[in-house]
């Protein structure tokens, strides 16, 4: 439960219809198993103490009395067990039979949640045996104790105030207005569903989409426990299709037709963070009307079994990655197309270095020109060799321009930079920040003046990862008239260029793109060593795959540095050791805070994903904010 991670389980027991003692024994065994595996929230299927398919046997007094005894036995069995457990059963109140989920914790019955919507169509006829639950929860007596009875009861964890659990039952989630809507808008962060949903051809896909969508709409965790083998097959078959979802993502899904228990961790901090910034998610004013029941859990380290992708901006699925690449390229090109049309520019100026970023910018510009029906020869692709330029990058820049049909210009800036060094009294042999930045600013001046000369605009090449780290020369490569890569992280830049290479029909163009992909990332501002690139960016600021991971979880979910460090250790196991992860994480936070002034005045550029750094959109951050509390959180980590 530390760092907001709560382990949950959806368990389908082996049952026999109407064999209450056997079912109780199996439920208790699974309670032991799930608690032993660290689950803090456990959901069992609808009416699992008796079996969902008892039919008119539900009207038999002997069955109902036996069920109540079984519930008491299960309650007693949970004594000393650190979990909130939901078990389905039929329960009689004031001569009416209800389909309920009993909430149990550490030997105590906390409440009974009633089913609101009873299906009475096709193979379902629940209204024959059960009464719909009340519109609003009230109190009943159970063994001399008052307990809440009804829908939308909120079970609130005393040790973790944001862990608020509510339940609904099967058909409730199929309804147009689900009970969980009110519960979630009143604070519930996890919804449990005790279900008995039978299998028909194709129903599993609909069920999965339904649960996934509900967790997204509610910005919540959703634990769905379904009835399985053991239920009567007189007319239907149950598959035990258990699902755990979080805010639109399926974390775990059970194989069907085998009774199984699935586990995952729901991130409460992530849910609360998403709700906090999502103004569409409106909290209800009816919170005071719902019954709140406190429960207690031990706060322990949660073993993480869910996976965290090392490249969160890049889909691991190849087909999804292709679709995303095409979508991003289109968004970038559409953004530039609009800007070119609005300004009536017939020329675009791109500084081409033979590196990944300028390559992507040129590819996007060519795509935008095609959309506008403008000849690609109107793209001014400018190579500006200087002290650090290598033959490899120079050749690739020239070949790429020619293969794309743009106009190649070369402006060697060595003499201009030397004159500038003379004017400011700087030695060419002093390879410091002045030596580097003078080249970047000279290149930007050249591009801007060529744009004026051709009635064009300068297309920015810098990417989002560089902006996050401030790895750009202020008023040098930092500046342009439209930054097409401004919200594309470096890890995605690589895949976009790879996608273009994979889909182009020109073998020579493909070859140069692949060589660019194989070239070390470098600003090439220091003289080469034996003809090779001497200045490798990732040796200086750290691997971009790590920085993109930090950036994603910091801005997308607001995670603490220590939590991101924990996730990074899992995501990069076998790739980066803990010392490396921590070293570059400290670099990331120091640079992210100290370099905000560069992001406060970046040019316009299109947003392509869920994380962006534009001061006009996603990140309104003071340029002089302190990083102290973030860096302090990293102290003592190993």
Residues noted as catalytic: 46, 115, 170
Structure tokens at 135: 């519109």
Tokens of 286: 């009816």
Whether 88 contacts 112, CB under 8 Å:
no
How big is the chain, counted in residues?
638
Nearest to 128, CA basis, from 118, 142, 115? 118
Q: Is the Cβ–Cβ distance between 459 and 345 less than 8 Å?
A: no
Measure the CA–CA gap between 303 and 264, rounded to whole angstroms.
Answer: 10
Give the count of alpha carbons within 13 A of 424, CB side only.
12
Retrieve residue 537's tokens: 């960016």
E strands within 373-455? 379-383, 407-410
Q: Give 199's contacts (C-beta < 8 A, 6+ positions apart).
A: 236, 237, 238, 239, 241, 256, 257
CA 255 from centroid of its chain's CA atoms: 24
Whole-number Cα distances in Å, 233 to 119, 130, 198, 228, 446:
19, 21, 10, 10, 78
Residue 628: other Cβ atoms inside 10 A: 10
Angle among Cα 345, 348, 354 to the nearest 5 degrees reads 170
What string of H, E and C letters represents the secondary structure of 553-601? HHHHHCCCHHHHHHHHHHHCCCCCCHHHHHHHHHHHHHHHHHCHHHHCC
CA distance 152 to 165: 9
Residue 517 has what DSSP assignment?
H
Rounded distance between C-alpha atoms, residue 166 and residue 179, angstroms? 9
| DSSP per-residue letters across 442-504 | HHHHHHHHHHHHTTEEEEE---HHHHHHT-S-TTTTT--SEETTTT--HHHHHHHHHHHHHH-
Q: Which residues contact 575 (CB under 8 A, 6 or more apart)?
A: 310
Q: Any bridge partners for residue 266, and if so which?
A: 6
Q: Angle at CA 55, nearest 5°, toward 49 and 60?
A: 75
The Cα diameter of the chain in Å comes to 101
User: Phi/psi of residue 146, each to 5°?
Assistant: -80, 130
Helices (H) and strands (E) in the chain — how many of each?
19, 20
Cβ(431)–Cβ(386) below 8 Å: no
CA distance 593 to 623: 7
Distance between CA atoms of residues 240 and 602, nearest Å: 53
At residue 296's C-alpha, the angle toward residues 291 and 301, to 5°, is: 130
Beta bridge partners of 113: 101, 150
Note every long-range contact of 477-481, with CB atoms under 8 Å and residues 24 or more positions apart, other chains counting.
477/351, 477/440, 477/443, 477/444, 477/523, 478/598, 478/602, 479/444, 479/603, 480/444, 480/447, 480/603, 481/339, 481/451, 481/457, 481/603
């Amino acid at each position: 439960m530390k760092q907001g991670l709560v382990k949950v389980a959806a368990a389908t027991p082996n049952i026999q219809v109407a064999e209450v003692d056997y079912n109780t024994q199996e439920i208790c065994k699974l309670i032991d198993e799930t608690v032993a595996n660290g689950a803090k929230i456990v959901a069992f299927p609808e009416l699992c103490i008796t079996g969902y398919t008892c039919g008119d046997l539900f009207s038999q007094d002997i069955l109902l009395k036996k069920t109540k005894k079984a519930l008491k036995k299960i309650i007693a069995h949970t004594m000393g067990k650190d979990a909130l457990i939901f078990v389905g059963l039929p329960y009689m109140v004031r001569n009416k039979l209800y389909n309920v989920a009993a909430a149990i914790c550490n030997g105590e019955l906390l409440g009974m949640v009633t089913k609101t919507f009873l299906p009475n169509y096709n193979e379902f006829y629940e209204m024959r045996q059960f009464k719909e639950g009340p519109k609003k929860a009230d109190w009943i007596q159970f063994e001399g104790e008052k307990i809440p009875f009804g829908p939308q009861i909120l079970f609130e964890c005393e040790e973790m105030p944001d862990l608020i659990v509510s339940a609904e039952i099967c058909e409730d989630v199929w309804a147009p207005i689900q009970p969980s809507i009110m519960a979630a808008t009143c604070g519930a962060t996890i919804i449990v569903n005790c279900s008995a949903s039978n299998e028909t051809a194709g129903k599993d896909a609909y069920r999965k989409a339904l649960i996934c969508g509900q967790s997204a709409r509610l910005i919540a965790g959703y634990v769905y426990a379904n009835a399985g083998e053991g239920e009567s097959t007189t007319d239907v078959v149950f598959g035990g299709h258990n699902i755990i979802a979080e805010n639109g993502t399926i974390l775990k899904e059970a194989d069907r037709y085998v009774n199984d228990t699935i586990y995952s961790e729901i991130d409460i901090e992530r849910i609360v963070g998403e709700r906090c910034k999502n103004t569409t998610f409106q909290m209800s004013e009816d919170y005071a009307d719902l019954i709140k029941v406190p429960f207690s859990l031990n706060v322990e380290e949660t073993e993480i079994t869910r996976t965290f992708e090392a490249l969160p901006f890049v889909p691991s699925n190849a087909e999804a990655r292709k679709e995303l690449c095409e979508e991003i390229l289109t968004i970038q090109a559409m953004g530039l197309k609009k800007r070119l049309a609005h300004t009536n520019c017939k020329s675009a100026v791109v500084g081409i270095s033979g590196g990944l970023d300028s390559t992507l910018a040129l590819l996007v510009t060519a795509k935008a020109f095609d959309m506008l029906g403008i000849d690609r020869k109107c793209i001014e692709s400018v190579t500006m060799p200087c002290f650090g330029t290598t033959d490899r990058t120079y050749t690739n820049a020239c070949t790429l321009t020619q293969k794309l049909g743009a106009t190649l210009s070369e402006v060697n800036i060595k003499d201009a930079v030397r004159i500038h060094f003379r004017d400011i009294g700087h030695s060419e042999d002093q390879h410091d920040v002045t030596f580097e930045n003078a080249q970047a600013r000279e290149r930007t001046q050249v591009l801007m003046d060529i744009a004026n000369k051709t009635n064009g605009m300068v297309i920015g090449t810098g990417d989002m990862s560089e902006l996050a780290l401030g790895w750009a020369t202020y008023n040098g490569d930092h500046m342009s008239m439209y930054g097409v890569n401004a919200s594309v992280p470096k890890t995605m830049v690589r895949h976009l260029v790879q996608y273009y290479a994979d889909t182009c029909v020109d073998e020579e163009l493909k070859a140069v793109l692949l060589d660019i992909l194989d070239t070390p990332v470098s600003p090439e501002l220091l003289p080469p060593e034996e003809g090779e690139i001497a200045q490798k960016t990732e040796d200086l600021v750290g691997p971009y795959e790590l920085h993109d991971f930090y950036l994603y979880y910091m801005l997308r979910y607001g995670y603490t540095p220590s939590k991101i460090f924990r996730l990074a250790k899992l995501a990069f196991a076998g790739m980066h050791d803990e010392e490396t992860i921590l070293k570059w994480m400290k670099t990331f936070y120091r640079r992210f805070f100290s370099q905000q002034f560069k992001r406060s005045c970046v040019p316009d550029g299109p947003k392509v994903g869920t994380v962006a750094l534009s001061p006009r959109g996603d990140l309104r951050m003071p340029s002089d904010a302190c990083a102290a509390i973030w860096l302090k959180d990293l102290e003592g980590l190993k």
